[in-house]
């Protein structure tokens, strides 16, 4: 295990070693919960952690992305959800092992720091800014679409395009998206236990709304709508799989609560695996109901960001089912914004504690046991993205960043098994090393399926991250300075 580098290290060899220095697992765990001025409070059990991951995941793809994925795969979008689920499963098993071994808030960033070194950890953390921060913005945009649909069907009032769409989408600023981010921020500032309680209520409501959708949609189910199941063949299934992978972003949210879980070594692995199973079952059921009730060629019509409401309109010809779905989606998607914002703040908290981002992100309110300034800064950043950037660009950029981070987690399992076989592990990835290797392969496969523009954006984002690391992170790294825990 590589220890802190000596300040006097010089030359190319010393520089390379400084980039590959790892943070000892014992030190990472010992620092858990500690911030500047206070500590995080351990208040979450298995139910809260599982629903945290479900809340961060369930709804993102079904409520928002389905409308743009169906035209790519046709009825075979159901298979696309399964493909994305298999990819997520391999990574989920790797996450479960590392979460039980290194139960801290940094998620894959902390796992990379313990296994592959500081530079890789930084790159992983930088990608998590895409996974968490940018995905919240995308979901907030979808929230605004369902809010507008609810107003339209119940009050006959549509939010003006100037205030409901971002520039490039026909508007000036997406006000509803900014509002939901602000509401999530105020709830997060109240504390982790209050956030978990609110999320639990919203998750049960979300599942109830989706079951209601299935019950109504299956009354209009026509087997003929599934004819020509895969009109674009495997290429279409794969392309849609790359897009709907966005739907699975968030299943790792429990791993960001490692320092606020009461029994993290036992509960974190279980919460990750259980949440992925719940989400996959719901996605496949809702996807099948949707393409069975409305022919896949009609999914490109109208507002694709409120596609489930369009399905109910086509299936029933009445306004009230889509109104119920829309208000349910308004409340349910808010839980995604809430829990993913929580995860982003905790990852920045861990990075700040290591000195790689400014110390303001690790300041904890002794009264509320939450990182107040961190939460406000993250909300401001997310609000700007949600208000001024179109949804499609956010989705694809988020997916590629997440797939890269997931691939690193799978590699991390292999590295830690080889370098620290003695560490106690509350969960072991089955069929090792086949499972993590397949996890890497599936992540790379879906990354290749994303467009060239997305890759250019990702590479530019990575370049910006490297510049930030060498300008600030490397110079302020606590591991480089040799400071104690």
Indicate the length of the chain as a whole number: 485
Instruction: Pick 301 or 227 by higher pLDDT.
Output: 227
Task: Identify which of 372, 394, 397 has the alpha carbon closest to the alpha carbon of residue 385.
Answer: 394
Q: How many CB atoms lie within 10 A of CB 46?
A: 17
Angle at 353 between CA 349 and CA 354, to 5 degrees: 120
CB contact at 8 A, 356 and 125: yes
Residues whose CB is less than 8 angstroms from the CB of residue 206 and which lie 6 or more positions away in sequence, other chains included:
55, 58, 59, 328, 331, 332, 335
Measure the CA–CA gap between 345 and 251, rounded to whole angstroms.
16
Q: What is the pLDDT of residue 12?
A: 63
154-192 pLDDT, tens digit per residue, is 777 777 777 777 666 666 788 888 899 999 999 999 888
Q: What is the pLDDT of residue 147?
A: 81
Q: What is the pLDDT of residue 18?
A: 72
Place 1 in a pLDDT band, splitting at 50, 70 and 90: very low
Mean pLDDT of the chain: 83
Least confident of 56-70, 157-171, 223-237, 253-267: 157-171
Distances, alpha carbon 48 to alpha carbons 13, 254, 305, in Å: 47, 9, 29
Place 481 in a pLDDT band, splitting at 50, 70 and 90: low
Both tokens assigned to 363? 């300041």
Residue 342 in this model has a pLDDT that exceeds 60: yes
Residues whose CB is less than 8 angstroms from the CB of residue 227 and which lie 6 or more positions away in sequence, other chains included:
none
Place 373 in a pLDDT band, splitting at 50, 70 and 90: very high
196-246 pLDDT, tens digit per residue, is 889 999 999 889 988 999 999 998 899 888 988 989 889 899 888 888 887
Place 6 in a pLDDT band, splitting at 50, 70 and 90: very low
Q: What is the pLDDT of residue 392?
A: 58
Average of per-residue pLDDT across 299-324: 74
Measure the CA–CA gap between 62 and 460, rounded to whole angstroms.
29
Query: What pTM was estimated for this model as a whole?
Result: 0.82
Continuous segment of H or E residues that includes residue 39: strand 38-39
Measure the CA–CA gap between 429 and 410, rounded to whole angstroms.
10
86-139 pLDDT, tens digit per residue, is 888 998 999 999 988 988 888 888 889 988 889 999 998 888 887 777 777 777
């Amino acid at each position: 295990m590589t220890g802190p580098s000596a300040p006097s290290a010089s030359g190319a060899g010393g520089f390379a070693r400084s980039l590959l220095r790892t943070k000892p697992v014992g030190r990472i765990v010992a620092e858990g919960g500690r911030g500047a001025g206070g500590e995080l409070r351990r208040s979450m059990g298995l139910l809260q952690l599982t629903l945290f991951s479900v809340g961060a995941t369930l709804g993102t793809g079904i409520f928002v992305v389905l409308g743009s994925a169906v035209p790519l795969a046709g009825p075979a979008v159901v298979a696309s959800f399964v493909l994305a689920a298999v990819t997520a499963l391999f990574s989920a098993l790797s996450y479960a092992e590392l979460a039980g071994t290194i139960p801290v808030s940094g998620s894959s960033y902390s796992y990379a720091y313990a296994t592959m070194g500081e530079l890789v950890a930084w790159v992983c953390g930088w990608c998590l800014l895409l996974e968490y921060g940018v995905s919240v913005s995308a979901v907030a945009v979808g929230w605004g679409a369902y809010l507008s649909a609810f107003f339209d069907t119940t009050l006959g009032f549509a939010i003006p395009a100037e205030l409901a769409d971002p520039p490039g989408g026909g508007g000036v600023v997406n006000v509803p998206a900014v509002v939901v981010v602000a509401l999530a921020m105020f709830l997060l500032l109240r504390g982790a236990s209050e956030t978990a309680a609110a999320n639990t209520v919203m998750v049960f409501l979300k599942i109830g709304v989706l079951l209601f959708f299935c019950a109504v949609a299956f009354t209009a189910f026509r087997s003929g709508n599934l004819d020509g199941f895969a009109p674009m063949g495997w290429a279409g299934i794969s392309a849609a799989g790359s897009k709907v992978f966005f739907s699975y972003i968030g299943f790792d949210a429990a791993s960001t609560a490692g320092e606020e879980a009461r029994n993290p070594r036992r509960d974190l692995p279980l919460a990750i695996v259980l949440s992925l199973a719940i989400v996959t079952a719901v996605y496949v059921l809702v996807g099948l109901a949707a393409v069975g009730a409305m022919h896949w060629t009609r999914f490109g019509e109208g507002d694709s960001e409120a596609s489930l409401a369009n399905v109910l309109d086509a299936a029933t010809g009445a306004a009230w089912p889509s109104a119920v779905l829309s208000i349910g989606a308004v409340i349910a998607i808010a839980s995604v914004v809430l829990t993913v914002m929580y995860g982003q703040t905790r990852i920045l908290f861990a990075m700040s504690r290591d000195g790689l981002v400014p110390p303001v992100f690790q300041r904890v309110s002794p009264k509320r046991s939450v990182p107040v300034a961190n939460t406000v800064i993250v909300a401001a950043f997310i609000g700007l993205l949600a208000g001024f950037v179109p949804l499609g660009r956010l989705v694809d950029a988020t997916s590629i960043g997440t797939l890269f981070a997931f691939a690193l987690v799978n590699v991390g399992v292999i590295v830690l098994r080889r370098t620290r076989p003695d560490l106690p592990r509350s969960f072991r990835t089955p069929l090792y090393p086949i499972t993590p290797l397949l996890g890497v392969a599936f992540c790379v496969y879906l990354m290749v399926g994303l467009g060239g523009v997305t890759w250019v954006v990702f590479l530019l984002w990575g370049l910006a991250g490297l510049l930030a690391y060498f300008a600030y992170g490397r110079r302020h790294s606590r591991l480089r300075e040799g400071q104690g825990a």
